[in-house]
Amino acid sequence: MVRLNNASIMLEMKATSKEGALRELAALAAVACGRFTEEILYSVLLEREALGSTGVGNGIAIPHGKIKGLDDILLCFGRSRAGINFEAIDNRPVHLFVLLLSPTSKAAEYLQALARVSKILKNIDKRQQLLNCTTREEIVALFTAAPTPS
């Protein structure tokens, strides 16, 4: 099971653009994983975004990608109360970002992690709670709680 930890959570992103948000998340992931630079992770995210925005609507974006040499799936969370224009499918600003990076060798686990994150973020109550959380611990608890049926 993929875990989110306090070190991989940003309670208030400073970015005001899609590129800025991706850079900020890449920097957070670089520190969390300690193995890749912000630039390398940013380029992985940009490459994925070139295929189509990972802004899935309802104020959510799930930037993700696969990277060779990563040991385990990495999950990071960022929040922008102001919202960021992320070219989401519903053209609304994005407030909740869940970054998912996976080793190229863990395709099945990657898809499971993506499905779990999507299920959590589909729930309107969980989205509201994520917007209202004041501590990293509350966010970790929301992501580690048993999923609620949608």
Catalytic residue flag (residue 95): no
Distance CA 83, CA 15 (A): 9
Identity (one letter) of the amino acid at 17?
A: S
Strand pairing class (74-84; 94-102)? antiparallel
Catalytic residue selected from 30, 36, 49, 64: 64
Q: Provide the angle, in degrees to the nearest 10, between the axes of the packed helices 124-132 and 107-122.
A: 90
Strand 94-102 vs strand 64-66: parallel, antiparallel, or unpaired? Answer: parallel
HSE at residue 110, side-chain half, CA atoms within 13 A, is 18
Residues labelled as active-site residues:
64
